[in-house]
């Protein structure tokens, strides 16, 4: 039997198949949503005596973000534009950056002088070290991304004026914009400020002067991005690989009702709170819930019978951090959004030179004496992704819970990153400087 097909019948058949295919997609999508709703979530449950007094992820998030961050952003903006210095917080005039500048200048001058005699041929290129200062709130981070306002994009567009003829011709042939290439010491996330970020740029042009680069970048985003220093360095200089240490400063604003006396008295309440809640909760290592609603309730922790501590001691945070000094440790539990290759082994290890916390004050229009803040200063050979923000948030959480002094060291041995707190807001984080000589503890802001 021979069946004849017309154009109309074929079109009808194809239309039915398409509708059937869309129906299958909807069915599969619905089944995936049902699987997601019925997915079992596991939440890390600490087994020490402070387990019940420790904030949940939601409580920690709310405690960190419900702050007068606008005062910190305003202070960083003044520091970026050289109207204030970091030493203003501690009421001193000596800034550690002054000593670092002198050391770097000696290092740069000696290498450039030795190298000028060796330059020849196509390797006779000029490398510039550029120290930048920028406000984090004005940019979407350092790394260039399509459709976003990033520091790297602005800097490289400004450097396009100083590109040599050969590279300019190649960029034109590939229909690419005329931009320079800036290599940075460390990429900062969205909202993170920098006072002495270091990047480098090289060109084969001999007529480029440091003052030309400085003027071009300063005119790109006035008030938000500023060049601190431009100098000629050796061509072997690399902002990232040549660095020996990096210094970060986190400024955590304290609310008006928070003071050291309340925090010290609150430590006594932690013990009674922990004992009362432990009598009513099991001590499992993981808490399990079978639906998204239960998970949300678990994170929020709406337990009206008990009230978690809402204050912490700055001196306790300092004690927790000082246990990290002088040790090479794996900070994989304090990292976020890292590649799989950097989750195990030496790539997760960092050597902490300096880790301190202290009270300070920043200028504030509401308070004549200034806004009281907690400053956390961290200096290490390197830092993992979001490591500083997680470390600060976890230290505050552990201090509020009344944990032991070695609590951060014990968290290194955890098997799940839920053991640490969510990252603190990026508004309080600032990359202070990058060092290319041996670390000198005398240059620290917090002794």
pLDDT tens digit sequence for 115-132: 444 555 556 789 999 999
Quick check: pTM over 0.85? Answer: no
Residue 21 pLDDT? 58
Residue 175 pLDDT? 83
Residue 127 pLDDT? 92
* Domain 49-80+243-257+309-439, classified CATH 3.30.70.660, yes or no: yes
pLDDT at residue 97 is higher than 60? no
Give span(s): CATH 3.30.70.660, the chain: 49-80+243-257+309-439
Within its chain, how far is the Cα of 190 from the centroid?
A: 8
Q: In the beta sheet, which residues pair with residue 247?
A: 379, 433
Task: Give the lowest-confidence range in 13-17, 127-131, 437-441.
Answer: 13-17
Q: Which residues are catalytic?
A: 189
* Domain 126-234, classified CATH 3.20.20.70, yes or no: no
Query: Max Cα separation, the chain?
Result: 100
Give span(s): CATH 3.30.70.580, the chain: 126-234
Q: Give the pLDDT confidence of 228-269 residue by residue, as tens digits.
A: 999 999 889 999 999 999 999 999 998 766 655 445 444 444
**Residue 349 CB-half CA count within 13 A:** 6
Rounded distance between C-alpha atoms, residue 178 and residue 134, angstroms: 23
Handedness of CA 170, 175, 177, 183 (dihedral sign): negative
How many C-beta atoms surround the C-beta of residue 234 within 10 A? 18
**Residue 340 banded pLDDT, cuts 50, 70, 90:** low
Q: How far is CA 169 from CA 21, 173, 247, in A?
A: 50, 6, 40
Cβ-in-10-Å burial (0-12, 13-18, 19+) of 233 comes to: buried
Rounded distance between C-alpha atoms, residue 51 and residue 401, angstroms: 8
In the three-class reduction of DSSP (H, G, I as helix; E, B as strand; rest coil), residue 42 is classed as strand
């Amino acid at each position: 039997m021979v069946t004849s097909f017309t154009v109309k019948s074929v079109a009808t058949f194809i239309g039915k198949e398409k509708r059937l295919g869309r129906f299958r997609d909807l069915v599969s999508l619905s089944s995936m949503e049902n699987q997601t709703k019925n997915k079992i979530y596991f939440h890390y449950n600490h087994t020490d005596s402070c387990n019940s007094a420790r904030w949940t992820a939601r409580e920690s998030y709310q405690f960190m973000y419900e702050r007068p961050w606008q005062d910190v952003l305003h202070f960083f903006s003044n520091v970026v534009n050289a109207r204030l210095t970091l030493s203003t917080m501690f009421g001193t005039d000596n800034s550690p950056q002054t000593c670092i500048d002198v050391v770097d200048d000696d290092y740069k001058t000696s290498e450039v002088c030795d190298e000028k005699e060796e330059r020849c041929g196509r390797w006779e290129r000029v490398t510039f070290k550029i120290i930048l200062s920028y406000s984090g709130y004005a940019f979407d981070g350092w790394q260039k991304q399509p459709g976003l306002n990033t520091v790297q994009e602005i800097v490289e567009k400004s450097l396009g004026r100083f590109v040599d003829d050969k590279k300019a011709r190649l960029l034109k042939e590939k229909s690419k914009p005329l931009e320079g290439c800036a290599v940075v010491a460390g990429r900062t996330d969205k909202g993170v400020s920098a006072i002495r970020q270091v990047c480098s740029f090289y060109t084969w042009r001999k007529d480029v002067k440091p003052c030309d680069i400085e003027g071009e970048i300063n005119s790109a985003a006035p008030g938000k991005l500023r060049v601190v220093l431009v100098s000629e360095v050796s061509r072997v200089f690399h902002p990232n690989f040549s660095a020996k240490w990096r210094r970060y400063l986190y400024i955590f604003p304290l609310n008006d009702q928070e003071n050291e006396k309340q925090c010290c008295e609150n430590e006594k309440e932690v013990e009674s709170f922990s004992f009362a809640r432990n009598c009513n909760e099991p001590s499992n290592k993981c808490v399990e819930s079978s639906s998204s609603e239960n998970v949300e309730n678990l994170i929020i922790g709406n337990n009206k019978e008990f009230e978690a501590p809402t204050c912490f001691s700055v001196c306790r945070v300092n004690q927790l951090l000082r246990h990290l000094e002088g040790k090479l440790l794996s900070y994989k539990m304090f990292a976020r959004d890292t590649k799989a290759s950097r989750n195990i082994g030496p790539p997760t290890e960092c050597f902490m030179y300096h880790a301190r916390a202290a009270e300070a004050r920043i200028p504030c229009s509401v308070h004549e004496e200034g806004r009281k803040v907690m400053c956390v200063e961290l200096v290490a050979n390197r830092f993992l992704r979001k490591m500083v923000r997680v470390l600060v948030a976890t230290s505050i959480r552990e201090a509020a819970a009344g944990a032991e002094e070695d609590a951060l060291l014990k968290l290194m041995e955890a098997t799940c990153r839920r053991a640490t707190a969510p990252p603190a807001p990026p508004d309080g984080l600032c990359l202070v400087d990058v060092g290319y000589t041996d670390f000198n503890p005398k240059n620290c802001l917090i002794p």
